[in-house]
Structure 1
Amino acid sequence: MTNIRNVLKVRNIPENLVPLQGVKGIARDPDTGYTYKYESEIDIERKKKFAKMNSNRKQNKFTNTNMDEIDYICQSLTNAQIGYLMILQCYIDYGGKLIHSQKDKTPLKTGDFLKILGLEDKRQTFYDFKDKCLDKGILIYTTEEETYSINKNYIFKGAFKGMGVVSVVTKDIKEGLKGNKPEELAMVFKLQEFVNMRTMALVKNPNETDLNKLEFMKQKDLAAALGVSAAYLSRQLYQIEINGEYVVAKIKVGKEPTKFMLNPNIFFRGDYAKVQVTIAVDVAPFFKVRKKN
């Protein structure tokens, strides 16, 4: 990190104006009357990271889930079917149509779905999933074009207004398909309903902006929300890995109850680049999977 004294010397700023770390603002030199705008080294480093994340934004593709509709999806589909839907959301275009990729906009056909979902030997499982989604209005079939789309009321790609949306980095969910069962991805999908915008903590009041008023989910709350036992959480949920990182972090401080957090490198609320700098950079060590030697 750049030595602050050298910076001051180059800028011809008196050392008595050096701010405390984490502080920024305007200072006045009592001898000359000149004013200076200053930033701490911490703030300067964060700005650099923000700029880097923002420049890479186009490389990160996102899809968005309407938090208000998560309950409807979960009530309409089985856990495995929720997992399949979560995988398919990585293949939508800005109109909701299911396509191969942003470069290859050819609509997905039955054979493509079977391959993507790993159901080539379980065709009936796919048809049951497809029919249930169509019946519940989660999937839409356009006869004229012979294409399938995900209903944009539930999951969509592109800009949005308001706070009730959780976004996901699609390349990571695609990666998650390789190492996790659809039922496990379903648990992660359900957790999106409880993500706080400012902290990525799992709470009962996810839209609360006053951090002193957050109602953190306890393990029993998570188990009840997911419809599983606490033992199952320990065996399955906390062990889910995607792209070399755990999806859920358990944070224990002193005598406080354990708090839970969703990985902001994979899921986020609001602006991706900002979340990476203000949250993800600081909590990254909690999610890294240590490989055994």
Structure 2
Amino acid sequence: MSVQNLMDQAEIRTKGKEVFTVIDANGEIRDDVKVITPLMQEKADKKREIETYSNKAENHFIFTEKDGVKFDELFQLTNKQLGYFLVLQTYIDYHNMLRIKDAKLPMKNVEIRKALRIKTNSTFKKLMREFEELGLIHYAEVELFGKSYVGVFINDKYCFKKGLYGDNKNRKINTTVKVFIDTLQDIYSQDKVSASDVGLIYKAMEFVHYDTNVLAQNPSERDEALVHPLNMDEFADAVGISRQKIHVKLSSLNYPCKYKGQELELKVFARVKVGKQTFLKLNPFVAWRKQGYPPVEEYGVFIFEYNMRNKKL
């Protein structure tokens, strides 16, 4: 008699709520059989649900206007200044005030300067003055815990957080890109990454295709047959970088992260080769346009690239 037939006739005896003894049709105890009851399945599903929610809840994001770099004020900025401005955006709270994660008070100038990695105070003051003159930021007095503080606020024309009780809880997000806070801050924390590099990421957001994260000329086209991806040369021209330099820039931009307990350095931009053309895909854990969080098929190519680069495939 086959194992399947034996198991079809098996008897399952319970010992307590979730301990089982399986006895087959020959009266033998089967230790090689795993029993999953509806109760056990429900608990496993609930555990996965909690773990998934926990992981996603820790991956906070801001909403940045996708075409923001086209706005007159931002169009005047250099790549370096754009990079500083995007880094600043990752520190906003639900009122667009700059505040370090879990801190109760506004960021101080020394903390902002440290976050931007600006060495001299004069350079920092000049940058903040330029941002204020362009209307990108403003200073305002806030009352917290019975005391007055001066906070730095970013104009919500460019970015915002969306919360149940925030000022932007009813803000439409169809023209925005979700920028993952920890990811961008981790990228910028690397000594080899400059503010100009982050500015390049900012400019790339304008071209992020809604469904695939491929950089495209028509990023909101939902029919993939009609999408026109940007090749490397076209992207270089679009962001104002020489075609020779863009290859070097993109190769050096990595995202240090943990994946299944392993320390990885994933690329910020993956190169997707189709025929003789090479297109670019922005890492979906840097920026993502769709609702929810990126599914594994969207960042799988970055894992594959890492494994091939490190000869793990």
What's the TM-score once normalised by structure 2's chain length? Answer: 0.71
Q: Cα gap change, 1:227/1:173 in structure 2, threshold over 3 Å: closer, same or farther?
A: same
Deviation at 1:71, TM superposition (A): 1.6
2:112 is the alignment partner of 1:131: no
Deviation at 1:139, TM superposition (A): 0.8
Give me the CA root mean square deviation.
2.6
2:270 match: 249
Distance in 2 between residues matched to 1:173 and 1:226, nearest whole Å: 19
User: Does the aligned pair in 2 maintain the 1:50–1:276 contact within 8 Å?
Assistant: no
Distance in 2 between residues matched to 1:133 and 1:288, nearest whole Å: 41
Greater displacement, 79-88 / 58-67? 79-88
2:217 is the alignment partner of 1:218: no
**Percentage of matched positions with identical amino acids:** 26
2:291 is the alignment partner of 1:271: yes
1:146 match: 150
2:278 is the alignment partner of 1:258: yes
SS at match of 2:67: helix
Unmatched tracts of structure 2, length 5 or more: 9-46, 143-148, 163-168, 257-264
1:196 match: 209
Q: Deviation string for 1:62-86 (max 9, x for gaps)?
A: 0111113222254132222111112
Amino acid at match of 1:241: N
Deviation at 1:223, TM superposition (A): 0.9
2:70 match: 71
SS at match of 2:188: helix
SS at match of 1:252: strand
Greater displacement, 189-198 / 174-183? 174-183
Q: Which runs of 4+ in 1 moved over 3 A?
A: 48-55, 281-284, 286-293
Amino acid at match of 2:291: D
Which of structures 1 and 2 has the bigger CA Rg? 2
Q: Deviation string for 1:10-42 (max 9, x for gaps)?
A: xxxxxxxxxxxxxxxxxxxxxxxxxxxxxxxxx
Distance in 1 between residues matched to 2:240 and 2:253, nearest whole Å: 17
Distance in 2 between residues matched to 1:201 and 1:51, nearest whole Å: 31
Q: Cα gap change, 1:122/1:283 in structure 2, threshold over 3 Å: closer, same or farther?
A: closer
Amino acid at match of 1:151: N
SS at match of 1:217: coil
Deviation at 1:141, TM superposition (A): 1.2
Where do 1:73-88 residues align within 5 Å?
Answer: 74-88=74-88
Distance in 1 between residues matched to 2:304 and 2:174, nearest whole Å: 27
SS at match of 1:56: helix
Amino acid at match of 1:238: S
Deviation at 1:175, TM superposition (A): 1.1
2:104 match: 105
Amino acid at match of 2:87: I
Q: Cα gap change, 1:269/1:51 in structure 2, threshold over 3 Å: closer, same or farther?
A: farther
Deviation at 1:50, TM superposition (A): 8.7
Structure with the bigger percentage of helix = 1
Distance in 1 between residues matched to 2:86 and 2:173, nearest whole Å: 22
2:14 match: none
User: Does the aligned pair in 2 maintain the 1:245–1:289 contact within 8 Å?
Assistant: no
Distance in 1 between residues matched to 2:247 and 2:63, nearest whole Å: 28
Deviation at 1:265, TM superposition (A): 2.2
User: Does the aligned pair in 1 maintain the 2:63–2:173 contact within 8 Å?
Assistant: no
Unmatched tracts of structure 1, length 5 or more: 10-47
Q: Which of 233, 243, 246 pairs up with 1:230?
A: 243
2:221 is the alignment partner of 1:208: yes
Deviation at 1:238, TM superposition (A): 3.1
Distance in 2 between residues matched to 1:222 and 1:284, nearest whole Å: 23
Aligned residues: 244
SS at match of 1:242: strand
Q: Cα gap change, 1:204/1:77 in structure 2, threshold over 3 Å: closer, same or farther?
A: same
Q: Deviation string for 1:201-234 (max 9, x for gaps)?
A: 0001111111001011022211111111111001
1:161 match: 172
Structure with the bigger percentage of strand = 2
Deviation at 1:251, TM superposition (A): 1.0
